[in-house]
Structure 1
Amino acid sequence: MKRFMDEDFLLHSEFAEDLYHEYAEKLPILDYHTHIPVRDIAENRVYHNLTEVLVDNPVARRLMRANGVKERFITGGEAPARERFQYFAESLARAAGNPLYTWVHLVLKRVFDCHYVLSGETADDVWSVCSEKFADGTMTVRSLLEQGNVEAVFTADHPEDNLKWHRQIREQGFPVKVLPVFHPDAALDIANPEWGNYMLYDLGQTAGVEISTMTEVREALAKRIAYFDSMGCRTADHAFPRIVYREAEEYELDDIVGRVINSKGAPTQEEVEKYQTAVLRFLGKKYAERGWVMQLHYGILRDMNSKMAAGLGSGAGFDCISASSDGEGLALLLDLLSREEALPKTVVSSMNPSDQVVIGSILGAFQTEDEGHLQLGPSWWINQTPLGIRAQLGYMASLGIIGTAIGFSTDARSALFWPRHEYYRRILCDVLASLVEEGLYPSDKDALGRLIRDVCYENTKKYFGI
């Protein structure tokens, strides 16, 4: 029996322990998919208590709701931070097997040097120990990134953003690279009742383009891509319930854009698919021209509890898995871009774990002469468990080449994300060691060490041009 989260937790053999401690443990961290507010980094936000860093996120909120905690202690309001933390601690103690249980204790150990097991009974002691770290005002976003050996972190930015915080960070000479990510989801979401206003007054005005046709949609997006590129952007991210594909003539696209943007009728589902296909086709070409990486995330339904989301806003813990994709849309999109010699480096992830074998098989049909050009993305959100990570690595190994993988990203909301890379690296080393134990790979520590360094660091650095 292993001791709780000792130095070798998640490592099930001496060989796995050697791989992790000798090759993975001290590698710098590159996280290419986070939602850390860039303003927090630019202004070096100071964290004040454990509730800020452990409770105020969608995953913790879902856990507390599942334990029957009243909403005022989950999303705040007038409830004191210490009281909210108490309810969180009581909920966490009942969450055996939940990845949040491990993540929280990794943060306590690595960031706060706190070795209590968090529960309702120990919440006072944990709060007291960690409060000493907060007391002097040095628990800041930048200090945490540096403490975690983070070399680069990518943020989530909208096409209309002026990226002033990125410029400020660059001018200040902060040693951690903070890179913008182009998120054009709002421009793609033509079914949203607010799409017309967004295109006219956010994207259109920022780009200096009066949008009324498909050509002008492309022009506005192209201008913002050029601006983001000048600010160091090297990747774009897109999230969908499913990836669709339906070709259309230019006059059809003009009619769809003109009608919807002028509030003369909502688009049909077929029209939504035609418009989104045309936009993704254009974006893929632009990304390929600039050497950007296209990240595609699907299998997610946003804010499905409309009653709760209406009061608490988007991203409060009400997203769900979609099971509506058969992979055809993805395959047809990649085929189109491939035929047009415009297939960018692409990372594809699904919230639905059953999609991984489908994605892996499709990507294998479109690989190029560029090593690892198409990537089966890392386990996303609720799949960031030992089971989910092992499954993703298994599909990557069986359907592609694990040695070309680009490691892990956290989808994190705060600067305390970096211990989760340790979690991934431990599992990776254990998976590789198990291949040796089963006689499926030679006991070549040097070869596996190079592979581990590539997966956890070198491949990501090369792939995103960091």
Structure 2
Amino acid sequence: MSFLDENFLLETRTAKTLYHEHAKHMPIIDYHCHLNAQDIANDRKFENLTQIWLEGDHYKWRAMRTNGIPERFCTGDAPDFEKFEKWAQTVPYTMRNPLYHWTHMELKRPFGIETILKPETATEIYDTATSMLQTDAFSVRGILKQMNVEVICTTDDPIDTLEHHQKIAEDNFGLKVLPTFRADKAMAIEDANFLTYLEKLGATSGITIASFQDLQDALKQRHDFFHENGCRLSDHGLETIYAEDFTGEEINGIFRKALHGQELTKADVLKFKSAMLVFLALLDHSKDWTQQFHLGALRNNNTRMMRELGADTGFDSIGDFDVARPLSRFMDKLDNSDQLAKTILYNLNPSQNELYATMIGNFNDGSTPGKIQYGSAWWFLDQKEGMERQMNALSNMGLLSRFVGMLTDSRSFLSYPRHEYFRRILCNMLGNDVEGGQLPASEMKWLGQMVENICYHNAKSFFNF
């Protein structure tokens, strides 16, 4: 077996059969990502490989910094080719990091480049890929079609006009690009920019926000607007779930304090966030949306770099937060009134895999297969071992067969081989079980269907796409 050949990560005959006959050709539903809808609307052609590969990719920036590369070659003003050269210098040092696999998978698909990236090959690879990027087949839409993508769900703030999504829908080019409602900034009452955000939200919704009820009305107006434009999912990026007890009078008072610039206590902040989570969850349930919770990130650890570069630039890590009790209280509150929407929980701390895998079983009520999902391994865990551990926990505590599968969670249009990576790992796990006598070889027809479901059909049914 050679590096990145057709049987990459497939260790058994059964694994190879499951991947090549069942997983490989399934369309992709990328139900959570951070792709730029404007680039899709405009069918952008990137000028070179650096722009499509290194723009906004904090995974690569993080590795480059660790390798001693100055910031001007990561997020700074260095020429594009020089940035690429520094990435090529770094790649050999990423061996055993998933970036080494992803890098070469992304060169192989869609470019067909099988040369190992290193300083000696940088110019050849850069020139070849850059030339291909100038053709229609390698425009943004061309790449998405090559990768067999059927649905993309971007991540969008309530104040977004969704004009680019509307243009994509009007073009009807054979691929759905739908918005996802992410109202994190509307919850961030402790943030110095909170009042500025309220002004923007008020302007977008046409509602002057002078009370907590006004805030709710504005968010509901935007929620309705997103629904009209095809949105069927919400998303939250939180350290943990907030589930403090609160009264309406308390929340009104806390909001008034914030509007008048008065200092908020920690208890005030937690109560407000708790109230907002419940309100948003009820909106999702009312429209049969799926709510997603990305939990466990300790963000913006480097204050100096946060000041210089802003958020989402590669200075976050795994956090260790109180999860079980608030998550249980929050979901139980909604379930108790039969208003718990379909939910996906994403965990960033591998020590809590079994916690999440058992939590979902508490609130699956038989109304929808896999109504509460333990979501795919994400961020620091979307590598081979992380995916295996997430799927093993789900298998042991729940039903892997009802899993809605992989997503890219990416800002790069070249990240779709991550679906292939996931599918190979899934098929290898099942193949090993069959050939180790832990699953019956006589049930290959069902196992093939199970693979196809996890790769595609479960998500299509779950999200009503």
When normalised by structure 1's length, the TM-score is 0.97
The letter for the 2-side match of 1:188 is: M
2:439 alignment counterpart? 441
Aligned partner letter, 1:303:
N
Q: 1:351 aligns with which of 342, 348, 351?
A: 348
1:100 match: secondary structure: helix
User: SS in structure 2 opposite 1:52?
Assistant: helix
Which residue in the other structure is 1:280 paired with?
277
**Count of residue correspondences:** 462
C-alpha distance after superposition, 1:295-318 (max 9, x if no partner): 001111222212112112222111
Within a 5 Å distance, the mapping from 1:192-203 to structure 2 comes to 192-199=191-198, 201-203=199-201
CA contact (8 A) 1:54 1:104 kept: no
Which range moves more in the overlay, 348-357 or 58-67?
348-357
Asked whether 1:305 is paired with 2:321, we answer: no
1:129 aligns with 2:140: no
1:317 alignment partner, one of 296, 305, 314: 314
Which one-letter code corresponds to 2:100 in the other structure? Y
Which residue identity is paired with 1:359?
Answer: Y
CA separation in 2, counterparts of 1:24 and 1:156? 26
Letter in 2 for 1:152: V
Distance of 1:26 and 1:111 partners within structure 2: 15
* Superposition deviation, residue 386 in structure 1: 0.5
The residue number in structure 1 matching 2:60 is 60
Q: Paired residue for 1:169?
A: 168
The corresponding residue for 1:45 is 44
Aligned partners of 2:398, 2:419: CA distance in 1, in Å? 22
Question: Residues 152-184 of structure 1, C-alpha deviation per residue, up to 9 Å, x if partnerless?
Answer: 111111101111111111111121100000010
Q: Distance in 2 between matches of 1:314 and 1:152?
A: 27
Matched, 1:191 2:225: no
Aligned equivalent of 1:18: 17
Alpha-carbon separation, structure 2, partners of 1:283 and 1:70: 42
The aligned residue for residue 109 of structure 2 is: 110
2:83 alignment counterpart = 84
Deviation at 1:137, TM superposition (A): 6.1
Could you tell me which residue of structure 1 aligns to residue 8 of structure 2? 9
Aligned-pair CA distance for 1:135: 4.1
**Structure 2 gap segments, 5+ residues each:** none
Give 1:136 deviation, angstroms: 4.0
1:179 maps to amino acid: L
Tell which deviates more after alignment, 393-402 or 210-219.
210-219
Alignment of 1:201-240 (within 5 A): 201-240=199-238
Classify the secondary structure of the residue corresponding to 2:293.
Answer: strand
Match of 1:94, SS state, is helix
Question: Does residue 1:75 correspond to 2:75, yes or no?
Answer: yes
67-76 vs 388-397, which moves further: 67-76
Deviations 1:403-461 (A, max 9, x none): 10000011110221211100000000011112212222111211011101111101101
Do 1:61 and 1:317's aligned partners in 2 also have CA atoms closer than 8 Å? yes
Counterpart of 1:329? 326
- 2:237 counterpart letter in structure 1: A
Q: Where does structure 1 lack aligned partners over 5 or more consecutive residues?
A: none
Which one-letter code corresponds to 1:67 in the other structure? N
Matched residue of 2:94: which SS?
coil
* Cα RMSD (Å): 1.2
Partner SS state of residue 404, structure 2: coil
How many Å separate the matches in 1 of 2:280 and 2:323? Answer: 23
Counterpart contact for 1:31–1:154, Cα < 8 Å: yes
Alignment match, 2:461: 462
CA distance in 2, matches of 1:128, 1:100: 21
Distance 1:455 1:262 in 2: 50
Percent of matched pairs sharing the same residue: 35
Range with greater deviation from structure 2 (33-42 or 355-364): 355-364
- The residue identity in structure 1 corresponding to 2:191 is N
Q: What is the Cα deviation at residue 42 of structure 1?
A: 0.5
Q: In structure 2, the residue corresponding to 1:121 is in which secondary structure?
A: helix
Letter in 2 for 1:336: K
